Amino acid sequence: MTSRARLADDAARLIALDWGTSALRAYLLGDDGVVLDERSEPWGIMQLPEGEFVAAFREVTGRWLAAAPELRALASGMVGSAQGWVEAPYCAAPAGVRELARSLVSVADEPLSIVPGVSQSGERPDVMRGEETQIVGVVERHPELAKDSLLVLPGTHSKWVHVREGRAERLTTFLTGELFAVLSTSSILGRFARDAANPPDAAAATDAFARGVLAARASAAGVTPLLFSVRALVLAGKLAAESSLEYLSGLLVGDELRCGLAAGEVPRALVGDAVLCARYTAAFGLFGIHGVPMVEHTAPAGLWAIAVHANLIRPTPRRVVA
Amino acid sequence: MTSRARLADDAARLIALDWGTSALRAYLLGDDGVVLDERSEPWGIMQLPEGEFVAAFREVTGRWLAAAPELRALASGMVGSAQGWVEAPYCAAPAGVRELARSLVSVADEPLSIVPGVSQSGERPDVMRGEETQIVGVVERHPELAKDSLLVLPGTHSKWVHVREGRAERLTTFLTGELFAVLSTSSILGRFARDAANPPDAAAATDAFARGVLAARASAAGVTPLLFSVRALVLAGKLAAESSLEYLSGLLVGDELRCGLAAGEVPRALVGDAVLCARYTAAFGLFGIHGVPMVEHTAPAGLWAIAVHANLIRPTPRRVVA
Question: Residue B8: pLDDT above 60?
Answer: no
Chain A nearest-CA residue for B176:
A224
Which of A157, A186, A262 is facing B228, going by the closest CB pair? A157
User: B-chain residues within 8 Å CB-CB of A231?
Assistant: 127
Q: Are A206 and B153 in contact (CB under 8 A)?
A: no
Residue A122 vs residues A105, A152, A159, B240: alpha-carbon distances, Å: 25, 21, 18, 17
Give mean pLDDT, residues A21-27. 93
What pLDDT was estimated at residue A22?
Answer: 86
Give chain A positions within 8 Å (CB) of B256: 224
- B187-237 pLDDT, tens per residue? 999 999 988 888 999 999 999 999 999 999 999 999 999 999 999 999 999
- List, in sequence order, every beta strand (DSSP E) within A30-182: 35-41, 73-76, 91-92, 105-107, 112-114, 118-120, 126-128, 148-153, 158-164, 167-174
Q: Exposure of A2 by Cβ count < 10 A (0-12 exposed, 13-18 middle, 19+ buried)?
A: exposed
Beta bridge partners of A253: none
Lowest mean pLDDT among A42-51, A153-162, B53-62, B111-120: A42-51
Minimal C-alpha gap between A226 and chain B (Å) = 8
- Who wins on pLDDT, B290 or B5? B290
Which positions in chain A touch B223 (Cβ < 8 Å)? 222, 224
Least confident piece of the model among A190-194, B87-91, B252-256: A190-194
* Phi (first) and psi of residue B132, to 5 degrees: -60, -35
Task: Count how many Cα atoms sit within 13 Å of the Cα of residue A18 in the half-sphere of its side chain.
Answer: 24
Measured CB to CB, residues of chain B less than 8 Å from chain A are: 83, 90, 119, 121, 124-127, 157, 172-176, 178-179, 182-183, 185-189, 191, 221-225, 227-229, 231-233, 235-236, 238, 252, 255-256, 258-259, 262
Is the pLDDT score of B317 beyond 70? no
pLDDT at res. B314: 79
Residues B233-279: pLDDT tens digits?
999 999 999 999 999 999 999 999 999 999 899 999 999 999 999 99
Checking if the pLDDT of B82 tops 70, the result is: yes
Cβ contacts from A onto B, under 8 A = 117
pLDDT of residue B196: 87
What rounded mean pLDDT belongs to chain B? 93
CA distance A32 to A16: 13
Four-CA torsion B122, B123, B128, B131, nearest 10 degrees: -90
- Rounded to whole angstroms, how far apart are CA atoms B228 and B212? 12
Q: What is the mean pLDDT of residues A48-69?
A: 92
Query: A257-299, pLDDT tens digit by residue?
Result: 999 999 899 999 999 999 999 999 999 999 999 999 999 999 9
Residue B1 has pLDDT above 50, yes or no: no
pLDDT at B7 over 80: no
B106 secondary structure, DSSP code: E
Contact A88, A116 (CB under 8 A): yes
For residue B10, what pLDDT is reported? 67
Q: How far is A95 from chain B (nearest CA, A)?
A: 17
Does the distance separating the beta carbons of A186 and B183 come in below 8 Å?
Answer: no
Q: What is the pTM of this model?
A: 0.92
Q: Which of B127, B178, B222 sits opposite A255 (nearest CB)?
A: B222
User: Rounded CA gap, B284 and A162, in Å?
Assistant: 36
Confidence label for A47 from pLDDT (cuts 50, 70 and 90): confident
User: Rounded CA gap, B265 and B259, in Å?
Assistant: 11
Query: Quick one: pLDDT at residue A306?
Result: 98
For the residues B112-135, what does the mean pLDDT come to?
Answer: 96
Per-residue pLDDT of A77-131, as tens digits, reads 999 998 899 999 999 999 999 999 999 999 999 999 999 999 999 989 999 999 9
Among the partner residues B183, B191, B235, nearest to A182 by beta-carbon distance? B183
Is a pLDDT exceeding 90 seen at residue B49?
A: no
Q: Which residues of A touch B259 (CB under 8 A)?
A: 221-222, 224-225
pLDDT > 60? residue B176: yes
Q: What rounded mean pLDDT belongs to chain A?
A: 93
The minimum CA-CA distance between B304 and chain A, rounded to whole Å, is 28
Which runs of E-coded beta strand occur in chain B?
A: 14-19, 24-29, 35-41, 73-76, 91-92, 105-107, 112-114, 118-120, 126-128, 148-153, 158-164, 167-174, 269-271, 294-295
Highest mean pLDDT of the ranges A48-62, A159-173, A189-203, B40-54: A159-173
Instruction: Choose from A182, A223, A252, A255 for mutation: most chain B CBs within 10 A.
Output: A182
Identity of the residue in B189, B229, B259 whose CB atom sits nearest the CB atom of A222: B259
Q: What is the pLDDT of residue A83?
A: 86
d(CA B226, CA B146): 38
